[in-house]
Amino acid sequence: MSFYENLYRKELIPGVKKPGTAEKEFYFEYIRDFARLDKRVQEMLIDRAYEIYSTSFKGLDKNSFADSEFYDPIAVCIKLLLLKTRNDNIIQGFATVALYEFYALPNNFSLSNKYLISNGIVCLSTSYKGKGALKDINITCAHLLVDEYNQGNFIHIDVSSNPITYYAMCKIGKFIVPMYQRVYSEDIEKFMIRFIRKLGYERVEGKNNLVVRDTYGALGIDKRLFLDNLDKLPEEMKYFIGLTGLEDNVGLCFLSAYRAIQGNSLGIPQTDYKSFPDLDAVAYQWVLDSNRPRL
């Protein structure tokens, strides 16, 4: 038994795996508050996460990666979702989620103007790419977050440097900005820009206001394949490529609404995730033993 297994136990999260669905070769473990883990456990998880990150992205050394994804000083909380194989319990993927609280419009402290914002990164090991695990980890992460935070406005703002990732978000999300043929308010765009600047992203001159310089830089994107087959691509991918040009270290800032209450200050259509596609992987949450509180 590893030393860190004495510090927590796993508890099944009900409602993630739908009855009657087949078992997959992986399962999820959900850590609600990374900061409350033992430091040795934090280091172990960061080491493995960086190994996986390095197969998908470039641009950050391990210390910078840890600071960016696990120790953001302005985040309210950092969460971690692990994808593990059933046969050997090895971590083969992860999603980090940093949560922030912002008021969208100045001098307005009403509930309709308050937004819980999630931001993070999803990475899979090479052996799990292209197997549908990306969709599963995104949907499971959204499911857990919406269940945990079930009041008020809750949105996800992030940067995508990969047309496939952006396309997947468009198919999963109920309200995405920007999106092909979608009209959205100037207030939404201004708020997205203000938030993303707080995270250190800068606009790419000469492009759309939501196109930014991306520190990460995705690996393994076959630009020629996309460009040579542009006419065959879904409209969402064409839209992404038209905005970013698939340039190195360039990404598109996007917003996905998990929940928007009626009359919210940004004019986002009332949105609430009340149902999710059937999932065929179970999820556990880490629970601290002895008298220490749940993570």
How far from 248 is each of 60, 121, 122, 159, 204, CA to CA, in Å?
Answer: 15, 18, 19, 14, 12
pTM of this structure: 0.90
Question: Is the CB of residue 156 less than 8 Å from the CB of residue 258?
Answer: yes
Find the mean pLDDT for residues 26-54: 95
| d(C-alpha 25, C-alpha 13), whole Å | 18
Q: Which of 71, 19, 74 is nearest to 45 (CA)?
A: 71
Please tell me the chain's helix, strand, coil percentages from 3-state DSSP, rounded to the nearest 5.
30, 25, 40
* pLDDT tens by residue, 104-136: 999 999 999 999 999 999 999 988 887 778 888
Instruction: Report whether pLDDT(2) > 70.
Output: no
Tell me the C-alpha distance between 290 and 3, whole Å: 15
What percentage of the chain carries pLDDT values higher than 90? 65
User: Which has the closest alpha carbon to 93: 137, 40, 58, 147?
Assistant: 137
Top-tier CATH class for 3-288 = alpha beta
**Residue among 75, 91, 84 at smallest CA distance from 34:** 75
Q: How many CB atoms lie within 10 A of CB 282?
A: 18
Is the pLDDT score of 9 beyond 90? no
Among all chains, which residue has been given the structure tokens 């919210």?
Answer: 264
Residue-wise pLDDT tens digits, 250-287: 999 999 999 999 999 999 999 887 655 666 778 999 98
| DSSP codes of every residue in 68-116 | HHH--TT-SEEEEEEEEETTT--EEEEEEEEEEEEESSTT--SGGGEEE
Helix axes 235-244, 163-172, angle to 10 degrees: 130
Structure tokens at 162: 């990969």
The half-sphere exposure of 176 on its side-chain side, counting CA atoms within 13 A, is: 22
